[in-house]
Structure 1
Amino acid sequence: MYRIRKSAGRRRALQTLAALVGAAVPLVYGKTSPSVSAAPQGRSTDDRRITDLIGANGWAGASRDVEMWRQMGISWGRDSVGPGQPDSPKEIIRVDKTGSQFDNDLPSALLLNNRNGIKSLLILGYTAPWNAMVPGDSNSAPVDVRAWTRYVEAAVRKYSAPPFNLRYFQIWNEAAGKLSGGAQQATFWHGPNFSKDDRYARPYERAMQDYVERIHLPAARIIRKYNAYVVYGGWPDQGGLSNYCKWLEYRSPASNERMLDWVDYLDTHYLGVSDLNELYERYVKNGPARGIWQTEIGDAYMKDPHYLPEYFFDFAVWALDHKWDDPNKYVSMIYHWDGYEPFRLTHRGPPVRTYNVSGRSLVVLHQTVSGPLASLANPLKFGPGAAGSGLRSGGDIVLQVNASPGWRMVTVAGLKRPASREVKIEFIDALTGTVSAADAMTTTWSNDGLQLGFKVPERVNGAGNDPPTHLAYIAVRSFA
Structure 2
Amino acid sequence: MDRMNYRPSRRRVLAAFAALACAGLRPMHAMAAAAAGPVGNRAARRITDMIGTNGWPGSAADIEMWRKMGISWGRGSVGPGQPDAPTQPMRVDKTGNRYDSDLPSVILRNNQNGIRSLLFLGYTPKWNASLPGDTKSAPEDVDAWERYVDAVVRKYSGPPYGVRHFQIWNEAAGRLSGGLPQATFWHGPNFSKNEHQSGPYDRALQDYVERIHIPAARIIRRYGGYVVYGGWPDQGGLDNLDKWLDYRSPRLNERMADWVDYLDTHYLPVADLDRLYERYVKQGPARGLWQTEIGDRYMLDEHYLPRYFFEFAVWALARNWDDPDKYLSMVYHWDGYEPFRLTHRGPPVRTFNVSGQSLIVLNQTIPGTLAPLSKPLRFGPEVTGSGLLSDRDMVIQVSAPSGWRTVEAAGVAPPSGGAQVLLIDALTGAAASREDAALNWNSDVMNIRFRVPDNVNGADRTPPRHLAYLVVRANQGKTA
Pairing partner for 1:249 from 246, 265, 290:
246
Amino acid at match of 1:461: N
Q: Partner residue of 1:394? A: 391
Amino acid at match of 1:133: S
What's the CA shift string for 1:187-220, capped at 9, x where partnerless?
1101111111234311110001100000000000
What's the CA shift string for 1:403-424, capped at 9, x where partnerless?
11000000022111111x2313
Pairing partner for 1:415 from 403, 412, 417:
412
Pairing partner for 1:294 from 265, 277, 291:
291
For the aligned residues, what is the CA RMSD? 1.3
- 1:274 equivalent to 2:258? Answer no
Amino acid at match of 1:62: S
- Written as runs of structure 1 = structure 2, the 5 A alignment for 1:371-390 is 371-390=368-387
Tell me how far apart the structure 1 counterparts of residues 195 and 235 of structure 2 sit (CA, whole Å): 16
**Paired residues of 1:321 and 1:375 also in contact (CA < 8 A):** yes
What's the CA shift string for 1:249-293, capped at 9, x where partnerless?
100011110011010000000000010000111011111110000
**Paired residues of 1:429 and 1:435 also in contact (CA < 8 A):** yes
Tell me how far apart the structure 2 counterparts of residues 381 and 442 of structure 1 sit (CA, whole Å): 16
State the secondary structure of the residue aligned to 1:194. coil
Pairing partner for 1:167 from 164, 168, 172:
164
C-alpha displacement at 1:7, in angstroms?
A: 6.4
Q: Partner residue of 1:469? A: 465
What's the CA shift string for 1:351-386, capped at 9, x where partnerless?
010000000000000000000000011211111121
**Paired residues of 2:244 and 2:256 also in contact (CA < 8 A):** yes
C-alpha displacement at 1:182, in angstroms?
A: 2.7
Tell me how far apart the structure 2 counterparts of residues 478 and 305 of structure 1 sit (CA, whole Å): 31
Tell me how far apart the structure 2 counterparts of residues 182 and 287 of structure 1 sit (CA, whole Å): 31
What's the CA shift string for 1:296-348, capped at 9, x where partnerless?
00000000000000000000000000000000000000000000000000000
Per the normalisation by structure 1, the TM-score is: 0.90
- 1:234 equivalent to 2:201? Answer no
Q: Partner residue of 2:122? A: 125
**Paired residues of 1:7 and 1:300 also in contact (CA < 8 A):** no
Pairing partner for 2:204 from 202, 207, 215:
207
Tell me how far apart the structure 1 counterparts of residues 117 and 420 of structure 2 sit (CA, whole Å): 39
Amino acid at match of 1:463: A
- 1:263 equivalent to 2:260? Answer yes
C-alpha displacement at 1:444, in angstroms?
A: 1.8
**Paired residues of 1:443 and 1:451 also in contact (CA < 8 A):** yes
Amino acid at match of 1:449: V
State the secondary structure of the residue aligned to 2:109. helix
What's the CA shift string for 1:104-145, capped at 9, x where partnerless?
000000000000000000000000000001111111111110
Q: Partner residue of 2:18? A: none
Tell me how far apart the structure 2 counterparts of residues 53 and 199 of structure 1 sit (CA, whole Å): 37
**Paired residues of 1:462 and 1:470 also in contact (CA < 8 A):** yes
Tell me how far apart the structure 2 counterparts of residues 210 and 9 of structure 1 sit (CA, whole Å): 30
Tell me how far apart the structure 1 counterparts of residues 460 and 3 of structure 2 sit (CA, whole Å): 19
C-alpha displacement at 1:477, in angstroms?
A: 1.8
Pairing partner for 1:327 from 324, 336, 351:
324
**Paired residues of 2:418 and 2:474 also in contact (CA < 8 A):** no
State the secondary structure of the residue aligned to 2:431. coil
- Written as runs of structure 1 = structure 2, the 5 A alignment for 1:16-415 is 45-415=42-412
Amino acid at match of 1:425: V
**Paired residues of 1:54 and 1:76 also in contact (CA < 8 A):** yes
**Paired residues of 2:126 and 2:132 also in contact (CA < 8 A):** yes
Tell me how far apart the structure 1 counterparts of residues 332 and 311 of structure 2 sit (CA, whole Å): 18
Amino acid at match of 1:462: G
**Paired residues of 1:301 and 1:307 also in contact (CA < 8 A):** yes
Tell me how far apart the structure 2 counterparts of residues 198 and 114 of structure 1 sit (CA, whole Å): 41
Q: Partner residue of 2:426? A: 430
Tell me how far apart the structure 1 counterparts of residues 282 and 373 of structure 2 sit (CA, whole Å): 21
**Paired residues of 2:171 and 2:183 also in contact (CA < 8 A):** yes
Cα 1:221–1:109 shift into 2, 3 Å: same
Amino acid at match of 1:149: E
C-alpha displacement at 1:449, in angstroms?
A: 1.2
Q: Partner residue of 1:3? A: none
State the secondary structure of the residue aligned to 1:384. coil
Amino acid at match of 2:324: P
Gaps of 5+ in 1: 1-5, 11-43
Cα 1:7–1:221 shift into 2, 3 Å: closer
Tell me how far apart the structure 1 counterparts of residues 178 and 109 of structure 2 sit (CA, whole Å): 40
**Paired residues of 1:234 and 1:268 also in contact (CA < 8 A):** yes
Moved over 4 A (4+): none
**Paired residues of 1:81 and 1:95 also in contact (CA < 8 A):** yes
Tell me how far apart the structure 2 counterparts of residues 261 and 333 of structure 1 sit (CA, whole Å): 24
State the secondary structure of the residue aligned to 1:281. helix
Tell me how far apart the structure 1 counterparts of residues 67 and 474 of structure 2 sit (CA, whole Å): 24
C-alpha displacement at 1:430, in angstroms?
A: 0.1
Tell me how far apart the structure 1 counterparts of residues 124 and 247 of structure 2 sit (CA, whole Å): 23
C-alpha displacement at 1:478, in angstroms?
A: 4.3
Amino acid at match of 2:431: V
State the secondary structure of the residue aligned to 1:362. helix
Tell me how far apart the structure 1 counterparts of residues 371 and 326 of structure 2 sit (CA, whole Å): 16
Per the normalisation by structure 2, the TM-score is: 0.90
**Paired residues of 2:128 and 2:141 also in contact (CA < 8 A):** yes
C-alpha displacement at 1:466, in angstroms?
A: 1.0
**Paired residues of 1:82 and 1:97 also in contact (CA < 8 A):** yes
Amino acid at match of 1:406: G
Amino acid at match of 1:471: L
Tell me how far apart the structure 2 counterparts of residues 264 and 426 of structure 1 sit (CA, whole Å): 41
Amino acid at match of 1:280: Y
Q: Partner residue of 1:8? A: 4
**Paired residues of 2:409 and 2:447 also in contact (CA < 8 A):** yes
Q: Aligned residue pairs: how many? A: 441
Percent identical among aligned pairs is 65
State the secondary structure of the residue aligned to 2:5. helix
State the secondary structure of the residue aligned to 1:9. coil
